[in-house]
């Protein structure tokens, strides 16, 4: 999903999109190796204790949590497939059009 998230970030950041990935690797070098191979052009947070997935009831990796401008979780997508791109982008664009 990283290439797709990179594209979304580049194309929609000027409209207010913030892409934030949460890395759960307990050892930072494992995360660094992944990012060296698959660079992210968006923010990465590190959560080696796994608090974030508990807070959002994440059941699969990757999971995309779409949060609106008011801070409300609006959509949750478990997993990622090429076929998901169109729907995910449409949901993101719809949320960006909403007033804060």
pLDDT in tens, the chain (100 residues): 999 999 999 999 999 999 999 999 888 998 899 999 999 999 999 999 999 999 999 999 999 999 999 999 999 999 999 999 999 999 999 999 998 7
C-alpha distance across the termini of the chain, in Å: 27
Reported pTM: 0.89
**Contact yes or no for 66/73 (Cβ under 8 A):** yes
Which stretch of DSSP H or E encloses residue 84? none
At which residue do the structure tokens 């923010």 appear? 43
Q: What is the pLDDT of residue 99?
A: 87
Q: What is the pLDDT of residue 7?
A: 97
How many angstroms separate the CA atoms of 16 and 83, rounded?
A: 25
């Amino acid at each position: 999903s990283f290439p797709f998230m990179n594209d979304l970030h580049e194309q929609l950041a000027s409209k207010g999109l913030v892409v934030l990935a949460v890395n759960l690797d307990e050892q930072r070098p494992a995360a660094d190796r992944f990012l060296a191979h698959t660079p992210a052009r968006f923010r990465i947070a590190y959560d080696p204790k796994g608090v974030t997935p508990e807070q959002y009831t994440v059941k699969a990796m990757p999971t995309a949590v779409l949060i609106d401008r008011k801070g409300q979780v609006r959509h949750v997508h478990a997993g990622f497939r090429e076929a998901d791109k169109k729907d995910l982008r449409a949901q993101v664009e719809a949320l960006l059009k909403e007033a804060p």
